[in-house]
Homo-oligomer: A and B are copies of this chain.
Amino acid sequence: MSSNPDIETIQITKDNLEKLKFNSEGLIPVIAQDYKTGEVLMMAWMNLHSLRDTLKNGKASYWSRSRQAYWVKGESSGHFQYVKEIFYDCDGDTLLMKVDQVGAACHTNKRSCFYRKIQ
């Protein structure tokens, strides 16, 4: 258990997974945030398989909606995301993952995918 009384922790068991809501495609959005700086790096999607693998391996894996494929972040670029903590929101339909990001999170080689601003 966390020492912070505001934080509840769960184990990923069958019962606990029922707290998470995957959408009609079996996916849940995941916000990846730099665990040190707090910079939001990217948003991607996981299915149950990639979430289990992420927890098991300590490296983020996702589901690519465009390629319809399981995807280990950094597999081709070396830009792995080592997972520190995963939180889920009040509705259980979004994850926030604190990561130790190797290199760039974005495929454009920017640190964060959010490098363009609306004004």
A interface, CB within 8 angstroms of B = 2, 6-12, 16, 19, 29, 31, 33, 37-40, 42-43, 55, 85-91, 94-96, 106-108, 110, 113-119
A39 to chain B, nearest CB (A): 7
A1: nearest residue on chain B (CB-CB)? B119
**How often does this chain occur in the complex, in copies?**
2
Residues of B within 8 A of A12 (CB): 118-119
Give the distance in Å from the alpha carbon of A115 to the alpha carbon of B38 in the complex.
16
Are A113 and B90 neighbours in the complex by a CB distance under 8 Å? yes
Are A86 and B10 neighbours in the complex by a CB distance under 8 Å? no
Residues of B within 8 A of A8 (CB): 115-117
Quick one: which of A7, A10, A38, A119 has the most chain B CB within 10 A?
A119
Give the distance in Å from the alpha carbon of A94 to the alpha carbon of B11 in the complex.
29
Quick one: which of A8, A42, A106, A115 has the most chain B CB within 10 A?
A115
